[in-house]
Amino acid sequence: MDANTGLIRDKVAAERSQEEAAVVPRAIENHGVIGDLATIALAATDGTLDFLCWPDFDSPTIFAALLDPERGGMFQIAPELSDARVTQQYLPDTNVLLTRWMGDKASGELTDFMYVKNSRSDGSSMVVRRFRVTRGSLKVRMSCTPRFEYATRQLSAELEEGAVIWRQANGEVLRLLANVPLAEIDGTVVAEITLQAGEGIDFILDDGDAAEATPEEMEAQTVAFWQNWARQSTYRGRWREMVNRSALALKLMTSRKHGSIVAAATFGLPETPGGSRNWDYRATWIRDASFTVYARRAREAVCRARPFVQTSTAGAQGPAPLHGGRPQSASATRNLALPFLESAFGYGGPPVGRRQRLVVLHFRPASACHR
């Protein structure tokens, strides 16, 4: 099948799936992203985390409602405020996301981030979600429904005081900490509370390790990390804000463990609704990643490209972790072995399992700066 045939087929499929595509509750453009240099979560403007691979970029999902609203799993925090105007923005020069609900008589804001205080390679991931009422009185609801192994497994929740735990067969643990009472209803962990102006609630999603700081300290350290990183920019032109925002997004896609750079944090999102080109982009495309390094070199006084170069060139001599931790051989043409989930709704098609071929013949990244 040639390229033109593929494009025509995708166009026809898109036209046929308009009704199906319309049921997707949260369009991809209505999201912000948070991350910690190990994985990335998508946060919708309605307060829902609806996509997260855990604990690494190439790990199976625990939240995938972006692809399958009914079975994918999600983590939502939102106020009961029908007349609200909703905005979403980042704290200046950070990857800390702020979603605001502003009504006639009340308003509130949700701060989302993944805790990162340095570029450590051995720390575990933590998602921190903090809701604050800024005016009036608000009833706030939380619901958390993780679905493991690409939404193929639903685990029983173990309720404890101030926490709930999901235990996987491989021994891994997912834990939700909260400073409000939690309950389980039909497999979904829920909480509901009415807050007054100045009051707030905190939720932390982690792997069960002891928390090393309070939510306030985590937020301050995460803000400091991203702002210190953004200050490395040598660009002082009129587009500084946009340049820094783009750089922060690209930085999120860099693995702190391996130095590799994923093409995207998602899979299963087709080029057109209902189209078949819904590839899994959670891998390193050598060419595209080299352009990323080149852009960072132009922006930063010090560009640390050595980890990326070492990871990429190692693949030419044997197995190398090119994304998130899974060993991948880049010594010749080969397929990435991925499951194909026909049962999932997907964003207009099956969400994972589309195979890509990776070829490394001669690797000489002119963009790399060895410092």
Which architecture does CATH list for 3-358?
A: Distorted Sandwich (2.70)
3-state secondary structure at position 174: strand
Tokens (6 digits) for 311? 């990871």
The whole-number pLDDT of residue 230 equals 92
Q: Domain ranges in the chain?
A: 3-358
Per the structure block, which two tokens stand in for 31?
């999201």
How much is the pLDDT for 297?
64
Compute the distance between CA of residue 38 and CA of residue 144 in angstroms, rounded to an integer. 22
Single pTM value for the model: 0.82
pLDDT in the model for residue 59: 92
d(CA 178, CA 143): 12
Round to whole Å and give the CA distance between 371 and 291: 17
Model pLDDT, residue 317: 47
Pairing of strands 137-145, 188-196: antiparallel
Euclidean distance between CA atoms 14 and 6, whole angstroms? 12
> Between vectors from CA 42 to CA 36 and to CA 44, what angle results, nearest 5°?
140
Give the residue carrying structure tokens 């009129």: 238
Q: What is the pLDDT along the chain (371 residues), one digit of tens a residue?
A: 444 545 444 544 444 444 444 456 788 899 999 999 999 999 999 999 999 999 999 899 999 999 888 899 999 999 999 889 999 999 999 999 999 999 999 999 999 999 997 766 667 899 999 999 999 999 999 999 999 999 999 999 999 999 999 999 989 999 999 999 999 999 999 999 999 999 999 999 999 987 779 999 999 999 999 999 999 888 888 998 998 999 999 999 998 888 888 888 998 887 776 677 777 888 887 777 777 777 766 555 445 555 555 555 555 444 444 444 333 322 223 344 555 565 555 565 555 554 443 433 333 444 444 33
Residues 98/111, Cβ–Cβ less than 8 Å: yes
Q: Which pLDDT does position 334 carry in this prediction?
A: 37
CB 46 within 8 A of CB 32: no
Determine the 3-state secondary structure of 286 from DSSP: helix
Q: pLDDT at position 13, please? A: 47
